[in-house]
Homo-oligomer: A and B are copies of this chain.
């Protein structure tokens, strides 16, 4: 039996989560059965959607049960394999969870090519967040050259890719991010035409001033004041891809948020299309995404940035920071050494 470390959901948060909602444990790992492999986690991804899994309420995925391991995508090394297509030493991506090791069916693991780009990118720009951004810009928004797009959480793991993809397609790209440093990075490094700070008390007025042609596409990651600033700027036949609403995840600001009729009126009068989506419904689009974006990352044409904390035990604090926008780019936890 292999001993391993894991972080479980100790209790469900009431409002914003805290460190007490998590517990680090030592446990025995079962031996892999037929078709299964035992893997050792190298990188673990932290993502806003995990906040939803902590609540009991219905969401697009079942909640994590109290006492069970928190879910996460990881990049890991195969230690032992009972499956033909994976051998010890292979690097794979899969949902190991907040854990140092895991036993998973081989068919739930995707091989990662360490020669294409650093393997950590399989959790970010070339993983779920990048895939999400690509589906949102291309399939949900159907963004067209010459249009104006707003991307919220503009420098985050998803937003940074969405903004760069939109720019490459020939859109005017306006970002919204938290703080001057992120806004500078959005413009200087990611190529946004302009980036607004969502903490700016004049956000709505600034948004209006900077969108003289209105907004055709809104890549929505946050809800909150940013949404309220964008909605009045939407053009007729505009599209909103609802990918996340991190500002409202823990109930903060919900009581002061705008009421539905004003939004409903905008949808009606401007003939908007508002569509929610999650990438897990679009796995058939993973290959075309990787085919397009893989080479762009390898060549340096698409930029990415990672915030890394060291050791599985740092995950809860890093996750709480992520929810407050304290990360910069893709938030990762280094769980184990490179091979």
Q: Is the CB of B268 within 8 A of A261?
A: no
- Residue pair B271, A277 in contact (C-beta under 8 Å): yes
Of A91-99, A184-192, A250-258, the one with at least 4 CB within 8 A of chain B: A250-258
Instruction: Tell me if A2 is interfacial: C-beta within 8 Å of chain B.
Output: no
Q: Are B272 and A261 touching (Cβ within 8 A)?
A: no
B267 and A275 contact, CB distance less than 8 A: yes
Cα–Cα distance between A272 and B277 once the two chains are bound (Å)? 8
* Copy count, this protein chain: 2
Kindly identify, within residues 270 to 318 of chain A, every residue whose CB is under 8 Å from any CB belonging to chain B: 270-278, 281
Q: A254-B259, A271-B60, A274-B273 are in contact. Are A264 and B242 (CB under 8 A)?
A: yes
Contacts of A276 in B (CB 8 A): 267-273
Looking across the interface, which residue of chain B has its beta carbon closest to that of A268? B276
Residues of the B chain whose Cβ atoms lie less than 8 Å from the Cβ of A52 = 269
Beta-carbon contact of A275 and B271 below 8 Å: yes
Contact: A275 with B273, CB < 8 Å?
A: yes
Interface residues of A in 143-182 (CB under 8 A from B): none
Per-residue B-contact encoding for A199-210, CB less than 8 Å = 1, 0 else: 000000000000
A227 at the interface (CB under 8 A from B): yes
From A280, which residue of chain B is reached at the shortest CB distance? Answer: B271
* Assembly CA distance A7 to B134 (angstroms): 54
**Residues on the B chain within 8 Å of A1, using CB:** none
**A to B CB contacts below 8 Å, 27 in the list:** A52-B269, A60-B269, A223-B260, A223-B264, A227-B264, A242-B267, A245-B261, A245-B265, A248-B261, A248-B264, A254-B259, A254-B262, A255-B259, A257-B260, A257-B261, A258-B260, A259-B260, A267-B274, A268-B276, A271-B276, A271-B277, A271-B278, A272-B274, A272-B276, A273-B274, A273-B275, A274-B275
**Chain A interface residues (CB < 8 Å from chain B):** 52, 58-60, 223, 227, 236, 242-245, 248, 253-255, 257-265, 267-278, 281
